């Protein structure tokens, strides 16, 4: 096999658009690792947590939430599932929420959850844990926090909501809870026919490092489902653990701002 066939060519300025969204593979672990629909596993560098070697070669991720028919027809909230792909449309991770029916339907988008992120052979590589917290700026003492772990339970970073009267703001922290990056979103997170951008900034908020974009998916999907598409952009040489934390931040943003569309409609 030609080694060049597995190279990933990410050109600066690529958009997040992906014509392969909606292509749902078999459940994790049921496809061979070298399937063309899946990103081949690179060699793991020293110091990289197992399974995160995928992130060493990319500077963009595409996150596609799977649409659940029961939610559309009955309005009954089910566990969220996501596909994470690279810009070539190859699956990098599969993400599944672990939650109970009562918590999902009583607490809604504010619910606590555990998200299991698996690689292409079904091995869990990241665990995201969100405790039950308040998301209102009126309760600054109990804001959102997400812990990112590498199994079996080793913390690699945190996403911490910062108090602000009108803007969504977060701090990205490393495993020692040292502040690394900031995320700042727009005052209004609903935009018709356009993307909603959450900027990843340096700690002094003067320079842009990346972006988490909630993509516009069309009138029908936006109005009747809470299945969303996201793009995540970060520097290629960013610490692989921080890349994983930014991926976790994308899911926290989804739950906080885009998970309640169906009930509101």
Q: What is the pLDDT of residues 200-225, one digit of tens each?
A: 999 999 999 999 999 876 555 544 45
Question: What was the pLDDT predicted at 210?
Answer: 97
Residue 50 placed within a domain: no
Q: Where are the beta strands (DSSP E) in the chain?
A: 60-65, 81-85, 91-98, 113-118, 124-130, 145-150, 154-162, 169-174, 179-184, 196-201, 208-215, 229-233
219: tokens are 């009138």
End-to-end Cα separation, the chain, in angstroms = 51
Residue 257 placed within a domain: yes
Residue 10 placed within a domain: no
Question: What was the pLDDT predicted at 218?
Answer: 53
Question: What was the pLDDT predicted at 96?
Answer: 95
* Measured distance CA(29)–CA(35) in Å, rounded: 11
**Angstrom distances, CA of residue 148 to CA of 10, 125, 126, 153:** 26, 10, 7, 9
Residue 204 placed within a domain: yes
Question: What was the pLDDT predicted at 175?
Answer: 96
Residue 222 placed within a domain: yes
Question: What was the pLDDT predicted at 263?
Answer: 39
Containing 255, the helix (H) or strand (E) segment is helix 240-257
Question: What was the pLDDT predicted at 73?
Answer: 67
CATH at residue 125 = 3.20.90
CB atoms closer than 10 angstroms to residue 44? 15
Domain hosting 250: range is 63-264
23: tokens are 């292509």
82: tokens are 């996501």
Residue 227 placed within a domain: yes
Residue 4 placed within a domain: no
- What pTM value is reported for the model? 0.79
> Which residues are bridge partners to 233 per DSSP?
60, 211
- Count up the domains in the chain and report the number: 1
Question: What was the pLDDT predicted at 33?
Answer: 44
Residue 19 placed within a domain: no
* Measured distance CA(115)–CA(81) in Å, rounded: 9
pLDDT in tens, the chain (265 residues): 444 444 434 344 444 444 443 444 444 444 444 456 787 778 888 889 999 999 999 999 999 998 776 665 666 678 899 999 999 999 999 999 998 888 877 887 888 999 999 999 899 999 999 998 876 667 677 799 999 999 889 999 999 999 988 899 999 999 999 999 999 999 887 766 678 999 999 999 999 999 999 987 655 554 445 567 999 999 999 999 999 999 999 999 999 998 865 433 3
Spatial neighbors of 80 by CB under 8 A, at least 6 apart, are 65, 66, 95, 96, 97, 115, 254, 259
Contact in structure between 120 and 51 (CB atoms under 8 Å): no
Would you say the C-alpha torsion 88, 9, 240, 206 has a positive or negative sign? Answer: negative
């Amino acid at each position: 096999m030609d080694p060049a066939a597995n190279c990933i060519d990410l050109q600066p300025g690529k958009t997040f658009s992906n014509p392969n969204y909606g292509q749902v593979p078999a459940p994790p672990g049921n496809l061979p690792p070298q399937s063309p629909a899946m990103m081949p596993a690179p060699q793991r560098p020293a110091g990289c947590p197992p399974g995160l070697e995928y992130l060493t070669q990319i500077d963009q991720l595409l996150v596609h939430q799977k649409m659940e028919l029961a939610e559309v027809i009955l309005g009954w909230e089910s566990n969220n599932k996501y596909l994470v792909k690279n810009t070539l449309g190859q699956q990098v991770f599969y993400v599944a929420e672990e939650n109970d029916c009562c918590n999902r339907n009583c607490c809604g988008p504010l619910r606590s959850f555990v998200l299991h992120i698996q690689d292409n052979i079904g091995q869990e590589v990241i665990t995201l844990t969100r405790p039950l917290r308040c998301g209102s700026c009126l309760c600054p003492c109990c804001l959102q926090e997400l812990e990112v772990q590498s199994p079996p339970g080793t913390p690699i970073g945190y996403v911490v909501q910062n108090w602000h009267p009108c803007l969504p703001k977060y701090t990205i922290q490393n495993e020692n809870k040292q502040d690394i990056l900031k995320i700042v979103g727009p005052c209004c997170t609903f935009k018709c026919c356009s993307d909603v951008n959450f900027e990843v900034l340096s700690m002094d908020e003067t320079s842009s490092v990346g972006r988490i974009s909630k993509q516009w998916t069309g009138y029908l999907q936006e109005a009747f489902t809470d299945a969303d598409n996201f793009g995540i952009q970060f520097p290629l040489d960013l610490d692989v653990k921080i890349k994983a934390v930014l991926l976790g931040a994308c899911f926290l943003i989804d739950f906080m701002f885009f998970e309640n569309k169906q009930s509101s409609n």
